[in-house]
Amino acid sequence: MSQSAVDVPPKGGFSFDLCKRNDMLTQKGLKAPSFLKTGTTIVGLIFKDGVILGADTRATEGPIVADKNCEKIHYMAPNIYCCGAGTAADTEAVTDMVSSQLRLHRYQTSRDSRVITALTLLKKHLFSYQGHVSAALVLGGVDITGPHLHTIYPHGSTDTLPFATMGSGSLAAMSVFEAKYKEGLTRDEGIQLVAEAICSGIFNDLGSGSNVDICVITKGNKEYLRNYMEPNPRTYVSSKGYSFTKKTEVLLTKITPLLERVEITEVGEAMEE
C-alpha cells in the first residue's frame, strides 16, 4: 500500500504538511495553541573537582502550572548532562537527538564523549533552525580534558563560563552567583551555592517553582540528586479526603473481562552445530 510511505518522512526530521491548513485556520481567527514551556531557572558552576548543574521542576502552560515535578536535567552521555529551558518539547527532542548521536559517535571512536562534541552538535542544529527550535541550554560535563560548562542560546550562539544561569529565573540566580561564587569551591560548598541560586529563582520568579534538582559530575563519577530540596511541600491536604454521599448516575455499564496475561516462553532446542 503506497499510502504507508506517506506516514513516516523518508529521512526523519520535521514534516511541514499541516502548515498550510494551520495558517488557514489562523487567518480565520482561530489562535494557535500555546506550548508547554519550562519557565525555569537552570544553573551550572564549575567547582574544584568538576561541574554541578541545578534546575527547578516547574512546567507551565501559559499561567497554569502543568507539571509540579518535571525533570529538566537531561542525560547526554555518562559524563555529560544538559539542563533545558524554553519550549519543553524542543529541549527534550534536541537533547535526546544529540544524546543518540553522541552514543553512535562513542561506538565509532571507542572513546568517551567530549563536552565540546555535544556543544558543536547542539549549536549546529539550533542555528540551522534559526531560533525557531526554542531551546536554551546549560551544558556541563567532565571529559578527558577536564570540566567544562557552556550555555547555548536558541539561535545557536554559545558561551563558555565558570558559572552560568539561563531561563526566566536567570537574573535571580545570577545575583546569588555573582555575590558568592569563588574559584576552587568544594563539593558541599558548590551544592549549597547551586541550591541557593535555584531557590532564589523558585521564590522570586513566577515561571520557576517546586523543587530543586542537582547533578554533580566529577571525573569518572556522576550523582543525580533528584528533588535534592523540596522547599514547597503540599501542606493543605485534607486528612479526611472527599466522601461522595451522592453517587454519580450511570446510564450504561459495559464490562469486558480480560484474559489473564500469559507469558509464553518457548523452550527451544539448542542449535545444532
Partner 1 sequence: MSIFEYNGSAVVAMVGKNCFAIASDRRLGVQLQTIATDFQRISKIHDHLFIGLSGLATDVQTLYQRLVFRHKLYQLREERDMKPETFASLVSAILYEKRFGPYLCQPVIAGLGDDNKPFICTMDSIGAKELAKDFVVSGTASESLYGACEAMFKPDMEAEELFETISQALLSSVDRDCLSGWGGHVYVVTPNEIKEKILKGRMD
Site residues for partner 1 per CB under 8 A = 4, 7, 9, 13-22, 25, 29-33, 35-36, 59, 61, 64, 66-67, 70, 87-90, 92-93, 132-133, 238, 241-242, 244, 247-258, 260-261
Phi/psi at 48 (5° precision): -55, -45
Sheet holding 212-218, edge to edge: 163-166, 42-46, 50-55, 212-218, 221-229
C-alpha cell recorded at residue 262 = 500469559
Please state the closest distance from residue 218 (CB atom) to partner 1, in A: 29
Q: How many C-beta neighbours within 10 Å does residue 163 have?
A: 24
DSSP-derived secondary structure letter, 30: P
Task: Work out how close the CB of 5 gets to partner 1 at its nearest, in angstroms, rounded to a whole number.
Answer: 13
For 14, list phi and psi in degrees, rounded to 5. -80, 150
**Least distance from C-beta 66 to partner 1, angstroms?**
6
Q: For partner 1, which is the closer residue by CB, 108 or 256?
A: 256
**Nearest CB to partner 1, comparing residues 57 and 165:** 57
Please report where in the chains the cell 554559545 appears, as a residue: 158
> Judged by CB, which is closer to partner 1: 188, or 260?
260
Is residue 40 among the annotated active site residues? yes
CA dihedral for 213, 186, 115, 207, sign (positive or negative) = positive
Q: How far is the CB of 83 from partner 1 (least distance, A)?
A: 16
Q: How far apart are the first and last CA of the chain?
A: 41
Greatest Cα pair distance, the chain, in angstroms, is 72
Angle of helix 187-204 versus helix 170-180 axis, rounded to 10: 140
| Closer by beta carbon to partner 1, 20 or else 182 | 20
**Catalytic residue selected from 26, 38, 40, 117:** 40
Q: How far is the CB of 6 from partner 1 (least distance, A)?
A: 10
Nearer to partner 1, 4 or 108 (CB): 4
**Which residue, among 227, 223, 225, 228, has the nearest Cα to 78 in the 3D structure?**
223
Q: Which residues are catalytic?
A: 40
